[in-house]
Structure 1
Amino acid sequence: MNLSEPQHVELGEANFFSKLSFSWINPLLSRGYLRPLTLGDIPSISTEDESDLAYRKFANAWESLIRDKSSNDRRNLVLRAITKVYFKENIFIAICAVLRTVSVVALPLLLYAFVNYSKREKKNLQDGLVLLGCLIVSKVVESLSQRYWFFASRRSGMRMRSALMVAVYQKQLKLSSLARQRHSTGEIVNYIAVDAYRMGEFPWWFHLSWSLVLQLLMSIGVLFWVVGLGAIPGIVPLAVCGFLNMPFAKIIKKYQSQFMISQDERLRAISEILNSMKIIKLQSWEEKFKGLIQSLRSNEFKWLAKQQFLRPYAFILYWISQAIVSSAVFLGCALFGSAPLNAGTIFTVLATLRIMAEPVRMLPDALSILIQVKVSFGRIHTFLIENELSKDEVSRFPLQNSDTSVTVEAGNFSWIPEAASPTLRNVEMDIKRGQKIAVCGPVGAGKSSILYAVLGEIPKLSGTVELPNKYSY
């Protein structure tokens, strides 16, 4: 390694000032400027960000919630487990969001104070320096709090995403036969690639949503403080725009749910087609199954298109509301005479409306993302509470204490326990250690089912199955 190149510093090893200014990442940026980065240039991930630790924390919270869950409890356990694990670190994110919101809303008030100071006949230097210091502090607080908010929320989201990805993977290894019929391989891939990924975006959008609402309310308070009753005519169109977004949100939630269902159907079909590709090619059924995939994709595209066609309405409301609200506020000032239409009032109102424009513009998108996250929370919750393979299906005994490898006595097994006729009836097996056994029979005779029964992956209706402590597939 070239000694002239800057040495990277890991986040966990950085000092307070380096963390405060994010200068710990400067060596990596400098090296990337000098030459293309390689894998060895990237700092290793810190211990608290590893997926194994994230999953263990989530698993402990999940198991405790499962133990305490009552039969009539309909609450989402995934959301509760995530909240239980990551509540403390999200308090810090919330504090940063509040500081950023307060510093942003304070800027119109500082502008109002600067304009009034400039109109004084006798200017006090000390007052001017105080205003300048407040402006500098406000901008520094806004910059640092916003960056720490964004960084910490993305970091927390990465941990949530890692934990849920591992949880879904571990769950699919233990699914019962009936649960496997309800969740195909394509759907499980979708839980990891789509739903768990959305969980990684959840902290940022969650804190953005409530902070935008807080910013909007504080901006309205600034308007009333500056223009008094003249702000009332401006609040009316703003409230109307907010209420118009509510039916759009309900419709978007419905379209998002249907879109995810159609996406699962397409992935299920693709998975089954790929598994049967040899037969499809042999029988020349390519065009038929191609048409099936295209029809499923068209259905998926239909719901996605309906969802996207609603987005322009939110943008129309955003652009119209700005002009209407500002005009209504100035009209209210003229009618009520609550504030003079001088430079201080006009500049402050325009600056406040500019700050209010961010919530009006971002809230529909934030609401849409939160709706998608809610759907993903429900899908992962449904998957993680599915039935697992019973540990009582197979009895274990020490291998060194017996010459027997597999023993099945009066075994009755069924893929569907409620079925009238079991899949396997009266199975008797006694396999000695070291024997080589062949299972023969026509298609559908139950050759694969008897292997699944020995492994405990098919529900046992009656009988006993005994295996050594260690066995391989």
Structure 2
Amino acid sequence: YVESSYPARSSGRNRHRSSNLLPRPFSVFRGYLFIMKQPLLEQETSSSSEATGTKSLFTDAGWFSIITFSWMGPLLDLGRKKPLDLHDVPSLDDSDSVHGVLPNFKAKIVSNSATGQFTDATAVKLAKAIVLTTWKPILVTAVYALLSSVASYVGPYLIEYFVDYLNKSSRSSREGYLLALTFVVAQLIEGLSTRHLQFRSKQVGVRARSSLVAAIYQKGLALSSQSRQSNSSGEMINVVSLDAECVGDFSRSMHDLWRLPVQIVLAMLLLYSTLGFCPAFAALLATALTIGGNKPLGRMEQNYQEKMMSAKDVRMRAMSEILQSMRILKLQGWEMIFLSKIIELRKVEMNWLKKNVYTSAMLLSIFFSAPAFVAMVTFGVCVLMGIPLETGKVLCALATFRQLQTPIHGLPDAYSMIIQTKVSLDRICSFLCLEEL
């Protein structure tokens, strides 16, 4: 294309004049512009199904296919027979592609902004824009989370009835079949709702991450010279690869803020119906004591997370400057001097990373030992109050404590994800608020 962009050769004096009309550097630049306008893939990505010629399997699937995930069957069967090519993979729906999500995301931010730009974006406004952009799948995942939480306690609730049924001298077959059928249906609902909760939550995370990455990229193209001097390309890479991904991963824990307390309430109600008020209240106090005792560790983890991300930015800025000035470093023989500087910055980053990991390990160790502590307190109160511990009640309580492990173990992860997401949102907002051209 560069050769074809030259003007036609002519003879004599006009040949020299015509060749100066389009210098070679400008021709090369025009050639690069032409190449950059070509899509990276053979198929257009601006629209979804019409561009690629294939429809979105998930969008066109029926309700039974969606419930059982059988809409993935043809693709998996084709992948079993041969390596998948680009044209074999179905296209995304417009609501799942960045071309469909980004305009809505930017419109939500602009509507909440006083200036109509990203320059006054805050973490609250950014989170609100993400929620308003993906509110439909968030609502669907909330229903799945509620179904999964309720169905998970049906099994422990039925254990006492199973034991009473087996201890009866005269058993009714109808009652036994009904108990078994109820247990199987509850487990089936729990399994399907949990799988769909994970799938839909990942879908929300992909939409949020795609919107943030596209917005950050467009912002990076419009930065002023002063903003580019104060923020290196390494910091922009950190914002895209770490912070945007952290916000997208928060979708897995977005319902834990209300789901985990609901599970704790269901466990306390089950213990109240099985052991009585005092043991259930003792179990609640033990659970609250375990959860409330980790607030200082949570604050320490937030502080270490912020320090670690700041140290990472400093190291990436130094790495970018060294790579850009590598010719000068080689000429002057300064490789080892600047290598020692990078090692020192890496040691600072590793120091904050170790403190963050150790704090997280302490949180996890406390919460893993919490169910045994709750069981010990509950059964101790039963022994002190003279409450008979029958076989059915003990088995039901143990099953409840086992189900109670899920909210107790999930609380440190959810709290940690909230802290990391807040830090990432603040960093993204600080980048989006930079001065533009």
Residues 5-84 of structure 1 mapped to structure 2, 5 A cutoff: 10-67=57-114, 76-84=124-132
Shift of residue 136, structure 1, vs aligned partner: 2.3
1:68–1:37: structure 2 CA closer, same or farther, 3 Å change rule? same
Q: Assess if the C-alpha contact under 8 Å between 1:231 and 1:332 holds in 2.
A: no
Could you tell me how far apart the structure 1 residues matched to 2:314 and 2:220 are? 18
1:101 equivalent in structure 2: 149
Aligned partner of 1:289 in structure 2 is: 338
2:363 corresponds in structure 1 to 314
CA shift digits 1:75-100 (9 cap, x unpaired): 62211211221223201111110110
What residue is the counterpart of 2:22 in the other structure?
none
2:296 paired with 1:247 = yes
Separation in 1, partners of 2:131, 2:392: 45
| Alignment correspondent of 2:139 | 91
* 1:335 and 2:384 are equivalent in the alignment: yes
Q: What is the CA distance between 1:16 and its match in structure 2?
A: 2.0
**Does the Cα contact within 8 Å between 2:315 and 2:346 map onto a contact in 1?**
yes
- Compared with structure 1, are the counterparts of its residues 114 and 144 closer, same or farther at alpha carbon in structure 2 (3 Å cutoff)? same
- Unmatched 5+ residue regions in structure 2? 1-53
TM-score for the superposition, normalised by structure 1 = 0.76
| % identity of equivalent residues | 34
Greater RCO, CA 8 A, separation 6+: 2
Distance in structure 2 (CA, Å) of the matches to 1:106 and 1:160? 34
3-state SS in 2 of match to 1:250: helix
2:234 maps to: 186
Show the counterpart of 2:30. none
Aligned 1:255-274 pairs, distance under 5 A: 255-274=304-323
Deviations 1:361-412 (A, max 9, x none): 22212211221111001111122122222xxxxxxxxxxxxxxxxxxxxxxx
Report if aligned partners of 1:8, 1:27 keep a CA contact under 8 Å in 2.
no
Which one of 179, 201, 220 corresponds to residue 172 of structure 1?
220
- Distance in 1 (CA, whole Å) between partners of 2:283 and 2:124 is 40
Distance 2:355 2:415 in 1: 17
Structure with greater proportional strand content: 1
Unpaired segments ≥5 residues, structure 1:
1-6, 390-473
| Alignment partners' CA distance in 1, 2:140 and 2:160 | 31
Letter in 2 for 1:362: G
Post-superposition Cα deviations, 1:188-214, rounded to whole Å, max 9, x if no partner, equal 111111111112111111123432232
| Secondary structure class of the residue paired with 2:131 | helix
TM-superposed deviation, 1:37: 3.3
Aligned twin of 1:364? 412
Aligned length: 382
Amino acid at match of 1:350: L
Amino acid in the other structure paired with 1:336: M
Moved more, 37-46 or 200-209: 37-46
> Distance between the aligned counterparts of 2:317 and 2:120, measured in 1?
31
| Mapped partners of 1:171, 1:73: distance in 2 | 12
Alignment partners' CA distance in 1, 2:208 and 2:109: 13
Answer yes or no: is the 8 Å Cα contact 2:122–2:426 preserved in 1.
no
Alpha carbons 1:232, 1:332 under 8 Å: kept: no
Select the structure of larger CA radius of gyration: 1
Aligned to 2:245: 197
Aligned residue identity for 2:153: V
> Equivalent residue for 2:274?
226
Is the 2:268–2:283 contact (alpha carbons within 8 Å) kept by the matching residues of 1? Answer: no
Q: C-alpha displacement at 1:69, in angstroms? A: 8.5
Runs of 4+ in 1 over 4 A off after TM superposition: 68-75
**Alpha-carbon distance between aligned partners in 2 of 1:121 and 1:37, rounded to the nearest angstrom:** 61
How do 1:381-420 residues align onto structure 2 when only pairs under 5 Å count?
381-389=429-437
8 A contact 2:304–2:353 mirrored in 1: yes
- Separation in 1, partners of 2:426, 2:116: 17
Cα distance in 1 for partners of 2:382, 2:348 equals: 53
d(CA) in 2 for partners of 1:40, 1:292: 48
Contact 1:9 1:27 (8 Å CA) reproduced: no
- Cα distance change, pair 337–310 in 1 and its aligned pair in 2 (3 A): same
Q: CA RMSD in A?
A: 2.3
Deviation at 1:15, TM superposition (A): 2.1
In the TM superposition, residue 40 of structure 1 has moved relative to its aligned partner by 3.6
Q: Distance in 2 between matches of 1:356 and 1:374?
A: 27
Is residue 116 from structure 1 mapped to residue 171 from structure 2 by the alignment?
no
Query: How big is each residue's C-alpha offset from its partner over 1:210-264, in whole Å with a ceiling of 9 and x where there is no partner?
Result: 3223212221221122111223333333222212211111100000001111111
Instruction: Give the SS at the match of 1:121.
Output: coil
Report whether the alignment pairs 1:379 with 2:427. yes
Q: How far apart are residue 311 of structure 1 and its match?
A: 2.6
Higher helix proportion (structure 1 or 2): 2
In 2, distance between residues paired with 1:74 and 1:9?
35
Contact 1:76 1:381 (8 Å CA) reproduced = no
Asked whether the equivalents of residues 154 and 186 of structure 2 are also in contact (C-alpha less than 8 Å), the reply is yes
Aligned AA (2:98): S
Report deviation, 1:101: 0.4
Are residue 137 (structure 1) and residue 185 (structure 2) matched? yes
Look up the match of 1:279.
Answer: 328
The answer for the alignment partner of 1:151 in structure 2 is: 199
Post-superposition shift, 1:8? Answer: 10
